[in-house]
Amino acid sequence: MKLKNLFTLALTVLSYYAFAQQTATQIKGEIKYKRNSVKLFKVVEGKTTEIAHAVPNKNGKFGFLFYPEYEGVYIMGTGNELTPNENHLFYFKGGDQLDISLSDTSYTLNGKLNSKENIVLKQWRDLTNPLFQKAINFMGKNSTFMDYFPQQETIVAKSKTFLNGKATGNPKFDQQIKDIMQLDLISYATNFLNTPRTAHPSVEEYSNFYSTLKANEISKDTKKVYNYPYGLRTLSALISVNMRQDGKPYKPGAEGLNIYFSYVPNDTLKGDIVLENLGRYKDYNSYKAITDQFGKYLLTKAQKNKENELMSPLLTYKPGTDGLQFSYPDKEGKLVSFASLKGKVVVVDIWATWCAPCRAEFPHLKQLEKDIEGKPIQIVSISTDAEKDKEKWLKMIKEENLGGLQLYAGQGSEILKYYKVSGIPRFLVFDKNGKIVNVDAPRPSDPKLKELLFAEAAK
């Protein structure tokens, strides 16, 4: 590769999926200020996630060679995942080339091989860079609303005709650039108000542009927010500004969430706001009070995984605390919830067909089933087999004549993460009210399990 002779190339091949792409995207770069690395980020549901980094050589040269997971917006720069500081927005698709020089305030495009999309984005950055510097890279700028507002109004006015004559021939980009422009201007406007200044305006002193900024307009669905690198951050900032404009004070907990929700029509985005709130809690009871009321908005798999991630450090698994409210299909496909078992002592058996120690417990489980007849005790066996082995699970239930409630959770399921199950079989016992008795209980082959169940059933 000739590029390699020009500078030390940080060669990064991203994800196995990438090889399905026909052509790689190539970035050739030079950094003109001192930083240890240049990072490449993808956009995932309104946030940025680092996917690669390159270490510049002694001459400041760096590069990336990668297969884009999607056509769309990526971020590159020397900043981090949380803020736009020292980062720049680009648009990549397979086969694109980018030749760039990074400075501490902006960047320049070099050569003639840069895509039309990134040329337009550079023109947009040039127009709005004064706002970016004062609102985002604001440290040491000493800008106040007295100089910022007039400049913002001028640039907003110019933005209305910015796209004239700039069609790239890529309809996807030509549509998305409109959203990028809108969210960029919102991001700058709100970040300016929400960061430290020597003077802050009253709501009455806000410039005209602020009256056009409505959180409920950009959050009708997830599209705008999720496709923008700092979408969730920008939405949250805009809600804060709208609350100020409407004279609504900040409130903690559930009351505050209900106020936030009044600015967000989309339920999935409400779930993201719930997660942002949940990240502030340091004890499980406070955390649970929020999930009990607002957990219904955690709709996507990513949101549910994040909720488990936030909750896990707060869990003590002490006897008397609530068990996970799981819901899994039985062998006929009918959903069975943990809540539906209230009134019975529940012993949960987490297992899989490939697990020899699990199968070794079958005779003891069958005997336990006979021993508990007539008592308020329910055995629930939950399979963690991979989807491809689901038929094998159904076959084993029939061939082994397995009793109790047989449910299918699947590989990597919520219950495994919640109870931090690292090995199976794993037995868990809950009282008649769904409270934890023991989440690492003896196996049926140990008489102590039956003693434990009978003692709980007698209460």
Separation CA 156–CA 209 (nearest Å): 8
330-339 — which CB contacts under 8 Å span 24+ positions?
Answer: 330/405, 330/406, 330/407, 330/408, 331/394, 331/397, 331/406, 331/408, 336/380, 336/405, 336/407, 338/430, 338/434, 339/434
* CATH code for the structural domain at 327-457: 3.40.30.10
- Grouping H, G, I as helix, E, B as strand and the rest as coil, residue 432 is coil
* Percentage with pLDDT > 90 across the chain: 81
Q: In the structure, what pLDDT confidence band is assigned to residue 337 with cuts at 50, 70 and 90?
A: very high
Whose tokens are 């109004």? That residue is 153
Q: Is the pLDDT at 291 greater than 70, yes or no?
A: yes
Name the residue with higher pLDDT: 6 or 46.
Answer: 46
Range list of β-strands (E), 296-454: 327-329, 335-337, 345-351, 377-383, 405-408, 426-430, 436-438
Mind listing the pLDDT tens digit for each residue in 198-237? 999 999 999 999 999 999 999 999 999 999 999 999 999 9
The confidence score (pLDDT) of residue 96 equals 95
Separation CA 120–CA 373 (nearest Å): 73
The confidence score (pLDDT) of residue 318 equals 87
Q: In the structure, what pLDDT confidence band is assigned to residue 309 with cuts at 50, 70 and 90?
A: confident
- Grouping H, G, I as helix, E, B as strand and the rest as coil, residue 337 is strand
- Grouping H, G, I as helix, E, B as strand and the rest as coil, residue 174 is helix
Whose tokens are 């991001």? That residue is 187
Helix, strand, coil content of the chain in percent (nearest 5) = 40, 20, 40
The confidence score (pLDDT) of residue 374 equals 94
Q: Which residues contact 156 (CB under 8 A, 6 or more apart)?
A: 185, 209
Q: Is the pLDDT at 181 greater than 80, yes or no?
A: yes
Quick check: 145 and 205 in contact, CB under 8 A? yes
The confidence score (pLDDT) of residue 18 equals 42
Q: In the structure, what pLDDT confidence band is assigned to residue 262 with cuts at 50, 70 and 90?
A: very high
Domain regions of the chain by residue span: 1-114, 249-314, 327-457
Mind listing the pLDDT tens digit for each residue in 51-102? 999 999 999 999 999 999 999 999 999 999 988 999 999 999 999 999 999 9
Mind listing the pLDDT tens digit for each residue in 277-288? 999 988 887 888
Mind listing the pLDDT tens digit for each residue in 387-445? 999 999 999 999 999 999 999 999 988 899 888 898 999 999 999 999 999 999 999 99
Separation CA 58–CA 395 (nearest Å): 63
Q: Any idea which architecture 1-114 has in CATH?
A: Sandwich (2.60)
Separation CA 347–CA 38 (nearest Å): 52
409-430 residues labelled b (16+ CB within 10 A) or e (exposed): bbeebbbbbbbebeebbbbbbb
The confidence score (pLDDT) of residue 24 equals 87
Mean pLDDT of 371-394: 95
Length of the chain: 459
Q: Which residues pair with 346 in a beta bridge?
A: 378, 430
Range list of β-strands (E), 188-331: 327-329
Q: What is the pTM of this model?
A: 0.74
Q: Which residues pair with 379 in a beta bridge?
A: 347
Quick check: 46 and 183 in contact, CB under 8 A? no
Q: Is the pLDDT at 7 greater than 70, yes or no?
A: no
